[in-house]
Structure 1
């Protein structure tokens, strides 16, 4: 799995002009799944992100997690994270998982954030064209990979 983590103020995702997920503050996650990813990868990434200390404490040090701050998650599926643009001008997406596998791993990942970590998780719609808007706070942006 490959996940872009962005610390965010308000954020929302829309599908066909209908908001399907929104947060007031927390993390926006762009989630890519490759064909070799397993439930273990999904759990590893969810656990890592839930405890990631990228929010400021009272001394302005990055010492708090999204759980510590009462933040929320906006999780967006993003197969293009596995695009390979080294050859030519059109990216190759062969490393991205097929939709049936990717959607299963993506759902396992989101459910782990909800059930184990008690986080509110908003989502887009898997496989749909989405519009995402966010206020990147900091900006703080990281890449998390399971392997």
Structure 2
């Protein structure tokens, strides 16, 4: 699994002109699944997202988690995180898991975050989504679940 975390002051996802997920502040998580990924990595990644200390404390240091700042997480599925752009001019997506593999892991990740007490909003798996965000910082991290 791979996640791109963007610290945001606000973010929302629209599908067919309707807002399906929105947060005031916290993490926008772009979430991708590889074909060999399993449920084993879901809890590790959820814990990392919930507890990563990348929000400013009273001294302006990155020392607080999304839980500490009463933030939220907007999770958006994005198979293109596994796109391969090394050869040719068209990306290949053989490194991305099929929807039948990816969707249950996406749902499990959302459930695991909620289980840690994080307010969670989501996009819609497999939909054509428009994502709006204000990246706070900007602060962006790429996290790959260890094999």
Q: Same fold (TM over 0.5)?
A: yes
Give the 3-state SS of the residue equivalent to 2:41 in structure 1. Answer: helix
Residue 42 of structure 1 deviates from its aligned partner by: 1.1
Matches within 5 A, 1:125-140: 125-140=124-139
Q: Which runs of 5+ in 2 are unaligned?
A: none
Matches within 5 A, 1:16-27: 16-27=16-27
Say yes or no: does 1:6 pair with 2:2. no
Q: Distance in 2 between matches of 1:97 and 1:89?
A: 21
Cα RMSD for the two superposed structures? 0.5
Matches within 5 A, 1:115-130: 115=115, 117-130=116-129
Q: Distance in 1 between matches of 2:10 and 2:139?
A: 14
Matches within 5 A, 1:92-103: 92-103=92-103
Give the 3-state SS of the residue equivalent to 1:48 in structure 2. Answer: helix
Give the 3-state SS of the residue equivalent to 2:27 in structure 1. Answer: strand
Q: Distance in 2 between matches of 1:9 and 1:133?
A: 11
Per-residue Cα deviation, 1:4-63 (whole angstroms, up to 9, x for no partner): 000001110000011000000100000000011111111111111111000000011100
Per-residue Cα deviation, 1:74-125 (whole angstroms, up to 9, x for no partner): 000000000001000000100100001100001111100001x111111111
Give the 3-state SS of the residue equivalent to 1:90 in structure 2. Answer: coil
Q: Distance in 2 between matches of 1:118 and 1:60?
A: 25
Equivalent residue, structure 2, for 1:88: 88
Give the TM-score, by structure 2 length.
0.98
Q: Distance in 2 between matches of 1:43 and 1:37?
A: 12
Q: Which runs of 5+ in 1 are unaligned?
A: none
Give the 3-state SS of the residue equivalent to 1:110 in structure 2. Answer: helix
Equivalent residue, structure 1, for 2:60: 60
Give the 3-state SS of the residue equivalent to 1:122 in structure 2. Answer: strand
Across the two proteins, how many residue pairs are aligned to each other?
Answer: 146
Flag as ranges the 4+ runs of structure 1 deviating above 4 A.
none
